[in-house]
Amino acid sequence: MSVQNQAVFDAALACPEAERALVAERLLESLSPQADELADDEFFLELERRRTEVEQGLITPIPWSEVRLEE
């Protein structure tokens, strides 16, 4: 994260929770929709496929706490 982005992030974290929620909502609204977003049925099928892969030992999930550190 750039120094400027970190400063914006830190400033946002200093805001009250309601204001942070509003900032987050407005930022999400500013993103262009992605063409590859899944419909609810497709999303459910994808979740089921991934759950099956984990249960069968085909993949090893990575905890979010570790993934977050990679950013």
Task: Give residue 36's pLDDT band: very low, low, confident or very high (50, 70, 90).
Answer: low
> CA 67 to CA 21: how far, in whole Å?
23
pLDDT digits (tens, 9 = 90+) for 14-31: 999 999 999 999 998 888
CA atoms within 13 A on the CB side of 61: 10
> CA 41 to CA 36: how far, in whole Å?
14
- Percent of the chain past pLDDT 70, that is, above it, reads 92
DSSP code of residue 15: S
> CA 71 to CA 68: how far, in whole Å?
6
Average model confidence (pLDDT) across the chain? 88
pTM of the entire structure?
0.44
